Amino acid sequence: AQSVTQLGSHVSVSEGALVLLRCNYSSSVPPYLFWYVQYPNQGLQLLLKYTTGATLVKGINGFEAEFKKSETSFHLTKPSAHMSDAAEYFCAVSGNEKLTFGTGTRLTIIP
């Protein structure tokens, strides 16, 4: 069984501030972890993924995430928020060829 918990359904940060979106997972097998972004009325775009190897993963648009096995976490960060980062973000876990998504976090950027 696998599951994902995203803490905070809504996160607001000022433009230029640090973005931190939290994701905790559970998986009975070594997990593969993903972050996706969804803009209104659009599909999902992969930001980054962790499979094996380096635990700090860099993705597109300046985002990165760190896999911490001891904390079962895969938090998403970006040093400086941009207005274009406003969107819905989904964390997902896969251990058996099916993706299980978290409930999503809506990121709002304050000018």
Partner 1 sequence: GAVVSQHPSRVICKSGTSVKIECRSLDFQATTMFWYRQFPKQSLMLMATSNEGSKATYEQGVEKDKFLINHASLTLSTLTVTSAHPEDSSFYICSAIPATGSYLGAFFGQGTRLTVV
Nearer to partner 1, 40 or 111 (CB): 40
Q: Does 108 bind partner 1 (CB under 8 A)?
A: no
Of 17-25, 70-78, 79-87, 89-97, the segment contacting partner 1 by CB under 8 A is: 89-97
CB-CB contact of 13 with 106 (8 Å)? no
Burial 2-21 (b: 16+ CB within 10 A, else e): bebebeeeebebeeeeebeb
Angle at 66 between CA 99 and CA 1, to 5 degrees: 30
Pair of tokens at residue 37: 């972004």
* Under rule CB under 8 A, residue 62 binds partner 1: no
Pick the binder of partner 1 from 14, 45, 80, 108 (CB under 8 A): 45
Question: Does residue 54 bind partner 1 (CB under 8 A)?
Answer: no
Using CB under 8 A as the criterion, which residues of the chain lie in contact with partner 1 when the complex forms? 32, 36, 41-46, 49, 51, 90, 94, 97-104, 106
